[in-house]
Amino acid sequence: MFEKILIANRGEIACRIIRTCQRLGIGTVAVHSAADAMARHVAMADEKVAIGPAPAAESYLRIDRIVEACRQTGAQAVHPGYGFLSENAELPLALAAAGIVFIGPPVEAIRAMGDKIESKRLARAAGVSTVPGTLDAIGDPTQAREIAAEIGYPVMVKASAGGGGKGMRIARSERELDEGLERARSEARSSFGDDRVFIEKFVEEPRHIEIQVLGDRHGRTLHLGERECSIQRRHQKVIEEAPSPFLDAATRSSMGAQAVELARAVGYHSAGTVEFIVDKDRHFYFLEMNTRLQVEHPVTELVTGIDLVEQMIRVAAGERLAFDQPDIRLDGWAIEARVYAEDPARGFLPSTGRLVTYIEPSGPGVRCDSGVVEGGEVSLHYDPMIAKLCVHAPDRPAAIARLAEALDNFVIQGPGHNLSFLNAVVSHPRFAKGSFTTGFIAEEYGEKFTAPALDEATELRLVALASAMRARQLARAQQISGRLPGVNLAPPTSFVAYVSRTARTVEAVERDGAFAVSIDGGPAHELVLHWRPGLPLARASIDGEMIAAGCRRLPEGFALTHRGSVVQVLVRRRRAHELALLMPEKVPADTSKMLLSPMPGMIVMVDVVEGDLVKAGQTLCVLEAMKMENVLKAERDGIIATVSIAERDTVSADQVLMTFE
């Protein structure tokens, strides 16, 4: 067994690998860029080595600096995690030349499966079902149109060296194909240094289901069941679960067998994933093989009890797998939700900034893999994922309930985040039934997320919660020191609460540590409040039933986040309510003739000049942020009045990019 391992990665996956190494008694080395000098993974490791400036191309993607860091620290092996160099065949070659072990599959397998086109050829040769499409890179738009017409629209344009949703576009017409081809090539070139793309049939009503494979260096290869990854946005997974609510035993067995055959065909060892697309009739087709640890590997670990990072380390050290296929048992249900720094209300655009408040949920069956700490920075230079919230329960309904509760108890303040969106998804009836495809998010929420309305009973519970919080807040304010002798003000108990533009009368009286809360003259409810002013999470028992909500203070109330909705509850004393009725309503500024930047980023293309006549849907400019290109288009016909940007300009969120007459 190794004595010291270097982790060639950052963030949550670096922290997750370090935890397994610590349990095994293996020393760890963290590498870091200038931006990550104070990062969590650096603090957790036994040793640290600086490898360059903030941009990944000058630090985490520098193989020479990874090898040099091994030499400096005496690390005997390197775990690449996922992303960055994890599927770059040059890394294991460089490590081998330096006498260092690569914790991953053989170079030949990485090369064969890393090229989407070559991997499809090998899959067909191994008897694995594949999607209709090209096996050669597309030369020009004319050839792309001919191929698309032959296999039929819709088609998928995919980068040959792609991954993570980058360099991927769906085209339903020739016009979309031309634009998708250009954007996919551009993203592929900037992300992977390889602009080759190919075309395949886009399967309607698809589900994305993958098989976890594991092999040792002694010829034993097996699979650990499947993961359902169909809840995606723009081809990036958002929620994953194991097992799949869609597969039957026969399909699971057949998919597992084909995944194992493909792994054997390329001489695979270590952990890897074979991804399939499955249609409504459970016909499945090979998509790709990821020759690394997957982001969503925790759900497999939770249902099998097998630590995949540990197995990767043991296999790399030459050990045999201590179990075989009949030993694999799936216990219960696991679900993972990816928590991103993004703004769902702005089309899920990435967000950056300091984590002013960061509180992870915990408890039985709850696991949170993260690489951040309160006060840390979500950087523009790297992937916007903050954490992976995972739960495990005896069955799927229990796992869904546990995840919803955990999301209610997760608090993030600072950058925008998708906690409300995740909670809305897991609370959706279609998700509960398991009747969804990869188009679920687009079908239910479109390009922008609008929080669903809560039912009246839940809304009233939040009114009761906010009223008790406001009563406690005012009671505390009345305890100020320095008051005149003999002045004892009774805390207010009568309020008017505003929620969804509805005013409700509330009585909230606290006795013996519990509130008696009555709304609109109705019966009193017993509310035991676990909150004090200043805390970002409010928990309470209302008539014996627990409720949790993230809370942000407002001038006269609170913004409560619960079950995917952010509810503003203003709680005023009666006299304040009477005076508020006399106040004029503030009218928001008119931005209808402005194009505002939806997020921080860099302008990579400006397609118009002042005086241009533009049509609805026409491209105005392209903004790059966190390695993704975002096309900003005209919402309606108009004339460009001013253009305030140029190519390679760095812009901030809400900055005016251009105006219209």
Whether 585 is in a domain gets the answer no
Q: Tell me, what's the pLDDT at 163?
A: 64
Whether 236 is in a domain gets the answer no
Q: Tell me, what's the pLDDT at 372?
A: 95
Question: How many independent structural domains does the chain possess?
Answer: 6
Tokens of residue 186, six digits: 């551009």
Q: Tell me, what's the pLDDT at 61?
A: 96
Reported as a single tens digit per residue, the pLDDT across 581-626 is 898 888 888 888 999 998 888 999 999 999 999 999 999 999 987 6
435 in the same domain as 464:
no
Identify the CATH number of the domain in which residue 72 sits: 3.40.50.20
- Distance of alpha carbon 304 from alpha carbon 323, whole angstroms: 12
Q: Tell me, what's the pLDDT at 167?
A: 80
Cα 625 to Cα 163, 349, 369, 383, 651, distances in angstroms: 17, 9, 24, 10, 10
Q: Tell me, what's the pLDDT at 235?
A: 84
Whether 179 is in a domain gets the answer yes
Tokens of residue 491, six digits: 């805390």
Whether 586 is in a domain gets the answer no
Q: Tell me, what's the pLDDT at 140?
A: 83
Residues β-bridged to residue 201: 155
Whether 89 is in a domain gets the answer yes
537 in the same domain as 463:
yes
DSSP H helices in 45-140: 63-73, 90-97, 107-114, 116-125
Output the CA torsion sign for 12, 17, 22, 26: negative
Tokens of residue 278, six digits: 């499955």
Residues with a catalytic annotation lie at 288
Of 626, 627, 629, 659, the closest CA to residue 645 belongs to 659
Q: Tell me, what's the pLDDT at 164?
A: 61
336 in the same domain as 326:
no
438 in the same domain as 462:
no
Output the CA torsion sign for 357, 362, 365, 371: positive
Residues in the chain with pLDDT values less than 50 = none
**DSSP type of residue 474:** H
∠136-205-261 over CA atoms, to 5°? 55
For residue 315, the enclosing domain spans 106-130+207-228+248-331
Identify the CATH number of the domain in which residue 149 sits: 3.30.1490.20
pTM above 0.75, yes or no: yes
Out of 331, 353, 381, pick the residue that ends a domain. 331
Q: Tell me, what's the pLDDT at 486?
A: 72
Out of 436, 451, 466, pick the residue that ends a domain. 451
57 in the same domain as 83:
yes
567 in the same domain as 524:
yes
Task: Give the number of other CB atoms < 10 A from CB of residue 533.
Answer: 13
- Distance of alpha carbon 348 from alpha carbon 198, whole angstroms: 27
Torsions phi, psi of 338, nearest 5? -90, 120
562 in the same domain as 643:
no
Output the CA torsion sign for 49, 53, 58, 60: positive
Identify the CATH number of the domain in which residue 524 sits: 3.30.700.30
Whether 241 is in a domain gets the answer no
Residues in contact with 477: Cβ distance below 8 Å, sequence separation at least 6, in sequence order: none
Identify the CATH number of the domain in which residue 620 sits: 2.40.50.100
Q: Tell me, what's the pLDDT at 258?
A: 97
291 in the same domain as 367:
no
556 in the same domain as 409:
no
Reported as a single tens digit per residue, the pLDDT across 389-423 is 999 999 999 999 999 999 999 999 999 999 999 99
- Distance of alpha carbon 226 from alpha carbon 294, whole angstroms: 12
Residues β-bridged to residue 32: 50
544 in the same domain as 461:
yes
545 in the same domain as 464:
yes
Helix axes 308-316, 11-24, angle to 10 degrees: 70
Amino acid at residue number 465: L
Q: What is the CA radius of gyration of the chain?
A: 27
Output the CA torsion sign for 88, 90, 93, 97: negative
Cα 226 to Cα 305, 369, 483, distances in angstroms: 14, 20, 66
Strands 27-33 and 47-52: parallel
Amino acid at residue number 109: A
Q: Are 104 and 85 in contact (CB under 8 A)?
A: no
Q: In 202-304, at which residue ranges do the beta strands (DSSP E only) sit?
A: 207-215, 221-233, 236-242, 270-278, 284-290
Query: HEC states along 145-207?
Result: HHHHHHHCCCEEEEEEEEECCEEEEEECCHHHHHHHHHHHHHHHHHHHCCCCEEEEECCCCCE
Task: Give the number of other CB atoms < 10 A from CB of residue 232.
Answer: 19
- Distance of alpha carbon 390 from alpha carbon 409, whole angstroms: 13
217 in the same domain as 314:
yes
Q: How many H helices and E strands in the chain?
A: 17, 38
